[in-house]
Amino acid sequence: MNNGNSRKLYDLALQYIPDGVNSPVRAFKGVGGNPLFFSAGEGAYLIDADGNRYVDYVGAWGPLILGHCHDKVISALQDQLAKGIGYGASTEAEVEIATKICELVPSIEQVRLVTSGTEATMSAIRLARGYTKRDKIVKFEGCYHGHVDGLLVKAGSGALTLGEPDSAGVPKAYTDLTYVLPYNDIPALQELFADQGDELACVIIEPIAGNMNCVIPSQDFLQSLRDLCSKHGSVLIFDEVMTGFRVALGGAQSVFGITPDLTTLGKVIGGGLPVGAFGGKREIMAMIAPSGPVYQAGTLSGSPLAVAAGLTMLNTISEAGFYDELGNTAKTLVDGLKERAAAAGVPFTTNQIGGMFGCFFSEEETITSFAQVIRNDTAKFQSYFHDMLNNGVYLAPSAFEAGFVSAAHGKTEIQQTLEAAEIAFGNLCS
Ligand SMILES: *Cc1c(COP(=O)(O)O)cnc(C)c1O
């Protein structure tokens, strides 16, 4: 495949942008080689700066659940553009999207829009601290909640890919208040609550982890977490920035039937534009400024463009059968991959839920912990990634990211992907 234009753009980018990218995982550090530059997206496909077409399993890191350039989303954006980009004041569409979010995710009684997932988690944590008048917080190993200072402790996603779960520039005092526990480990949870429970402002968790590849928690683990938080008066925050409207219409909380106190959202709710949201119990949300003492604000919050795209997206994915089809597509894909890996004699395990999946080059039959995730064979992934790319399939450039399918992925795209995978697995055993 000719990548001449991407190379040229990357060389130029390296001069003016740190590492040539505006977000770390885009730099291909986890897989080697030069990152691709893209010029267009069409349904399930991405087109790079050299005109090569790829079946896209990144979907802008989650938002594009309808695929690229969905006609309804594009026309909603065009309609709004004709009326203005932003007013710095309230709009009817904001009320509509808030109503819609509260309907779809019943644990959310009130919601506030922000501009990114990072802002959503940062605000939710401040709110939980203000509400409980406690300082300590808990997160889980391998979970990523954006680049919030106090949460960059054993984080997933780019921080994991780069082998630097902790960031320079974060004062130790900021993370001294953050406890980190192993994911899916009930005894560790019980121990911390027995010791510190009454001092914990909140626990923040990805209720299905998608930033250490894809790891699904046990029902008992999430239930224990809910029970312990209730018992000790700690706020339970489900960070559904990735899983919200991705694994099911009601998010991971509807899959497990567990009600958090606060939920953070992002990605899908913006339809591909910069949006985040946090919401939950009315009593807690009442603590926010201007009526409450917890300050939170945003110049571009509730941007009419983002709201137009997000609302159209939410209305479209609310149609009956949407998630059955999305889940079937993802299942057909991972089943097909497993079959081909087995035929080639390559150890390979998958996790999948709704439109989200994970692949592991691992001998283990099930992957449920961070410790298992980091044993994923990254050398095999690297070879697989480049073979897939050369055969027209774009995967997240890291062994520690989840994959996404969209409603635009059909039989043709899955078949093309499986054919590429057959070649990639074949090369791994030769
Ligand atoms: C992506 C992500 C974030 C951060 O969202 P940004 O919009 O990148 O700031 C937070 N939490 C989870 C679970 C995410 O997947």
Per-residue pLDDT tens over the stretch 369-411 = 999 999 999 999 999 999 999 999 999 999 999 999 999 999 9
Task: Indicate the top mutation candidate among 144, 149, 161, 213 to test ligand 1's pocket, ranked by most ligand atoms within 8 A of CB.
Answer: 144
The share of the chain scoring above pLDDT 70, in percent, equals 98
Supply 25's token pair: 């995982």
Q: Which CATH number fits domain 4-69+320-428: 3.30.70.330, 3.20.20.70, 3.90.1150.10, 3.40.50.2000?
A: 3.90.1150.10
Tell me the pLDDT band of 319, cut-offs 50, 70 and 90. Answer: very high
User: Which residues is 265 bridged to in the sheet?
Assistant: 277
Which ligand 1 atom is at minimum distance from the Cα of 240? 13
User: Which of 351, 364, 345, 339 lies closest to 428, judged by CA?
Assistant: 345
Domain regions of the chain by residue span? 4-69+320-428, 71-317
Q: What is the mean pLDDT of the chain?
A: 95
Distance CA 227, CA 175 (A): 25
Task: Indicate the top mutation candidate among 21, 116, 118 to test ligand 1's pocket, ranked by most ligand atoms within 8 A of CB.
Answer: 118
User: Which of 41, 84, 43 lies closest to 305, judged by CA?
Assistant: 84
Q: What's the pLDDT tens digit per position in 283-296?
A: 999 999 999 999 99
CATH fold group of domain 71-317: Aspartate Aminotransferase; domain 2 (3.40.640)
How much is the pLDDT for 159?
66
Four-CA torsion 203, 209, 212, 213, nearest 10 degrees:
180
Distance CA 329, CA 356 (A): 10
Which runs of consecutive H residues, i.e. helices, occur in 237-352? 251-256, 282-285, 304-317, 322-344
- 19 has catalytic annotation: no
Q: Is the CB of 117 under 6 A from ligand 1?
A: yes
- 144 has catalytic annotation: yes
| 164, pLDDT greater than 80 | no
Tell me the pLDDT band of 165, cut-offs 50, 70 and 90. Answer: low
Are 285 and 263 within 8 A, CB to CB?
Answer: no
Q: Is the pTM of this model over 0.95?
A: yes
Q: Is the CB of 121 under 6 A from ligand 1?
A: yes
Tell me the pLDDT band of 167, cut-offs 50, 70 and 90. Answer: confident
Distance CA 384, CA 396 (A): 12
Q: What's the pLDDT tens digit per position in 57-100?
A: 999 999 999 999 999 999 999 999 999 999 999 999 999 999 99
Q: What's the pLDDT tens digit per position in 110-138?
A: 999 999 999 999 999 999 999 999 999 99
Residue 308, SS3 per DSSP: helix
How much is the pLDDT for 315?
97
Q: How far is the CA of 40 from the centre of ligand 1 (A)?
A: 23
In the block, residue with structure tokens 């509400």: 131
User: Which of 348, 366, 338, 353 lies closest to 405, judged by CA?
Assistant: 353
Q: Average the pLDDT over 43-57 and give the result.
A: 98
How much is the pLDDT for 150?
86
